[in-house]
Amino acid sequence: MPTPRPQRPDPRANPIADDGTEVRFCSTCAFSGACIDAGYDKIALRDLHVLVEHVGPFRAGEHVFRSREPFKAIYAVRAGLVKTVAVDPEGNEQVLGFYLPGEVVGLNAIYPEHYPCDAVTLETTHFCRFSFPAISALAARMPGLQQQLFRLLSKELGMTSLLAGDHAAEERVAAFVTDLGERLAAQGFSGTRLRLSMSRLDIANYLRLAAETVSRIFTRLRDQGLIALEGRDLEILDPSGLRALARNVRDR
């Protein structure tokens, strides 16, 4: 019944092809671990299969959901990259986060009951869509799933430390790169060779810096031999050196 763990696509390779309309359980979905590991009864697992909806592909620049839309579902990234963006009353955009395969978008919409931000794909992206009423009802019957949801929410709380701290520009950029590498590694990708599919402006906006500052710091890090950077292809040459620069950014 459980399908074999699919190959992780190389993040630098082309996005995965559309795998048809068949709804299959996919291990990249954020809840797989909770379900497979816990040895649940077939009925519960079947319920989870049924409520999962594979959506996509979205092309780069498309909206998954928009601010103020009623909250219906959370989205687990299967492949690709998403950013969430909040727009203030003056029209200023603020990138709230980037979401990699295996990560979940939309959790901050539970409380307000509408999405407080836009979700925009940055490359061709596939999702697993979970109706929130359905998955929370199921969670009541599957303690492991409930626990997984609690942990996901709590994890995202801790993720804010990069933005929340008052850090020098260099610390921010170093922490950003380090964090990205670690999150990719956690999902089975290379943690040292990665592609920055988001623009420099998106990175700068996310880090609350000017694009010029980000650019300057990237070149400085390259001159110091910590990274190799060609366009949007990044290689981390000295992970511990980068970590040292980012040391003041509290780890989760």
Binding pattern to a copy of itself, positions 83-112, x when CB under 8 A?
---x-xxx-x-x-x----------xxxxxx
CA distance 205 to 217: 15
Binding pattern to a copy of itself, positions 206-245, x when CB under 8 A?
--x-------------------------------------
Q: Is 30 in the site for DNA (CB under 7 A)?
A: no
Site for DNA in 137-166 (CB under 7 A): 166
Name the binder of 12 from a copy of itself, DNA, none, CB < 5-8 A by kind. Answer: none
CB 102 within 8 A of CB 49: no
Q: Is 154 in the site for a copy of itself (CB under 8 A)?
A: yes
CA distance 16 to 51: 23
Range in contact with a copy of itself (rule: CB under 8 A) among 18-26, 49-57, 151-159, 220-228: 151-159
Site for DNA in 183-222 (CB under 7 A): 199-201, 208-216, 218-219
DSSP designation for 114: B
Output the smallest distance, CB 112 to a copy of itself, in A: 6
DSSP designation for 93: E
Q: Is 37 in the site for DNA (CB under 7 A)?
A: no
CA distance 182 to 177: 9
- CA 27 to chain CA centroid, Å, is 16
CA distance 58 to 210: 29
Nearest C-alpha neighbor of 32 from the set 63, 70, 4: 4
Name the binder of 229 from a copy of itself, DNA, none, CB < 5-8 A by kind. Answer: DNA
Buried b (16+ CB within 10 A) or exposed e, 92-101: eeebbbbbbb
CB 176 within 8 A of CB 206: yes
Whether the CA torsion 154, 162, 95, 99 is positive or negative: it is: negative
Q: Is 146 in the site for a copy of itself (CB under 8 A)?
A: yes
Whose Cβ is closer to DNA: residue 26's or residue 174's? 174
Provide the binding-site residues for a copy of itself, judged by CB under 8 A: 86, 88-90, 92, 94, 96, 107-112, 116, 136-137, 139-141, 143, 146-147, 149-158, 160-161, 163-166, 208, 247-250, 252
